[in-house]
Structure 1
């Protein structure tokens, strides 16, 4: 049977509608049952989690020549799962509130903020923010693969963008333009080409003329590459930093779940995690849990987590060399 801590963790995650945390604890229960020889039960639990995690991902029905460019999904990531600074999280909550109360704002001649630019290093929560917004607003998330748009359709990118914005007017959802710097580069850069200048000009016109109620989000890893003319087209610009001490502590505690022992010296792990992104800390914690399971333990040791966090640091250094 599941331990008392696991049962309480399941109840807490259910009440807070934290689906991913619920799945994590459920898998911990499966591992616990497997260690006690209940292999059939463990298999059934893992199968249920796998089935629940399968989110249908379909391609929006654009013309055939745009197949694979825009991907639609229905995320299930609640606001509680977003570990960000208090300032950024408050601004995300403001976007949600204004969207939900847009009719009230319109009755006073005001519009809700819906054109949002997210900037920051990779793995700091930009894409997850779009997923959370879609979840909280009960809307599908439509992700436009900007890098594919540019590389696959050079010479006709502006025409494809027009089709996308026509879809934005027609289909409700949260629209994420990922890897936005692929077209949003400064028009005066020496390595720029005429085609990309035309694409950026087209995008500026499309986003300025868009009058739909949908959320349009652009995400970039490199703010310095963006054309300054872009900023006034957005209702809000959110800058994402690497997690601070408080965010790192919450991340590690949340991710480890019941694998987080009561005597776990969290401060040491938080210190070692400094300089890592949210995504890198996530990977290290999940690797630590896998290591514990494979060693028939129901808790993560500080030594193993620190070693895995150091591995993530080494991976970063390798990319920078």
Structure 2
């Protein structure tokens, strides 16, 4: 008993001092003592608790390290997403492109050693709500790096006149901190500025192109746009790959809704719903599924039926096309 008391006292002191390493060490000593006493279940529980705590602490530390500081904190938002590639509902060719980018990043040392640069500058284009931001999150998750989101619309309006210098700060971070950097609503910066070559907008775009050209392959730069047609043509040759997104077909729409509904749609037939899902994005389908689910749960039921989905989808279509 005296031995256990000393261990408890040591753990309390370690916790108070913020000495996690010593805290875990003492906890493992307790586990070893219990194992010797024949209390194997308790010893195993202690070891599992230590391992789980260490893993959680590592994730917290990584997330904290990812948070931008100083001027950069006003320009980008850092997150540490947990979205796997298998969760992205997209055409086979698009998924193959993403897999290729991931494979090249994982083999970047090998490619660089032979004089080849892995793909790291991506243009994501397509209608709103079709998976562009989710793709950036997938890349960050699969590569176990932070995701940094740059909102160019606010950057341009808040720092107009000094945007080029602020962009340099962002690209300095790209070079110094491995991650996935998402330039959201990219058309705010990349729209064709024909006839405005001497203006501030042209200088900003030229600065972006120069910074993009110089980026290290350690990080991925993703530019997302809903309006490819208005982008300056000079942009396209600066990206290693252009990933094109589209509205889901009937099969993909079913997968999206089933994934969001989970067990609520276990026995629900979704055949022939194409006329109701047509024209809706992935994000709108998720919203429709959520609406149907909430209606069912508030009725005290646990099964979404076909009529629930038709009502929710029709409402989304009306809102989208009005």
Secondary structure of 2:273 counterpart: helix
Q: TM-score if structure 2 supplies the norm length?
A: 0.77
Larger C-alpha radius of gyration, 1 or 2? 2
Partner Cα separation in structure 2 for residue 74 and residue 80 of structure 1: 18
**CA separation in 1, counterparts of 2:250 and 2:198?**
43
Is 1:182 matched with 2:149? no
2:301 is aligned with 1:293: no
Residue 62 (1) aligns with residue 51 (2): no
Q: Give the structure 2 partner of residue 213 of structure 1.
A: 218
In structure 2, what is the equivalent of residue 237 of structure 1? 242
Match of 2:8 in 1: none
> In structure 1, the residue corresponding to 2:244 is in which secondary structure?
strand
Q: Distance in 2 between matches of 1:311 and 1:227?
A: 37
Q: Which stretches of structure 1, 4 residues or more, deviate above 4 A after TM superposition?
A: 55-59
The 2-side partners of 1:153 and 1:69 are apart by 10
CA distance in 1, matches of 2:220, 2:74: 21
Instruction: Show CA shifts across 1:109-152 (max 9, x none).
Output: 21110000000111000000000110000000000111111000
Among 149, 154, 157, the alignment partner of 1:151 is: 157
Indicate conservation of the 8 Å contact 1:168/1:212, yes or no: no
Describe the SS at the equivalent of 1:144. strand
> 1:3 aligns to what?
none
Task: For 1:124 and 1:81, locate their aligned partners in 2 and report how far apart those are by CA, in whole Å.
Answer: 13
Counterpart for residue 20 of structure 2: none
Match of 1:128 among 129, 134, 140: 134
Q: Deviations over 1:254-298 (max 9, x none)?
A: 222111142x22123343111100000000001111111111111
The correspondence for 1:278, drawn from 262, 279, 282, is 282
1:269 to 267, 273, 290: 273
Kindly state the Cα deviation for residue 245 of structure 1 after the two structures are TM-superposed.
2.1
Aligned to 2:232: 227
Aligned-residue RMSD, C-alpha: 2.0
CA deviations 1:164-205 (Å, max 9, x no partner) are 111111111110000111110112167x88111110010001
Query: What residue is the counterpart of 1:29 in the other structure?
Result: none
Corresponding residue of 2:40: none
Distance in 2, Cα, partners of 1:235 & 1:199: 21
Which ranges of structure 1 fall in alignment gaps of 5 or more residues?
Answer: 1-54
> Which residue is 1:23 aligned to?
none
TM-score of the superposed pair, with normalisation by structure 1: 0.77
State how many pairs are aligned. Answer: 262
- Give the secondary-structure state (helix, strand or coil) at the position aligned to 2:124: strand
Give yes or no for contact 1:204–1:230 (8 Å, CA) kept in 2: yes
Please report how far the alpha carbon of residue 69 of structure 1 lies from its aligned counterpart in structure 2 after TM superposition.
2.1
Greater helix fraction, Structure 1 or Structure 2:
2
User: Whole-Å Cα distance in 1 between the matches of residues 92 and 319 of structure 2?
Assistant: 29
**Uncovered stretches (5+) of structure 2, i.e. residues with no partner:** 1-59
Superposition map of 1:1-321 within 5 A: 59-63=67-71, 66-188=72-194, 194-262=199-267, 264-318=268-322
Distance 2:140 2:70 in 1: 21
Query: For the structure 1 residues 84 and 210, does the alpha-carbon distance in structure 2 shift closer, same or farther, using more than 3 Å as the test?
Result: same
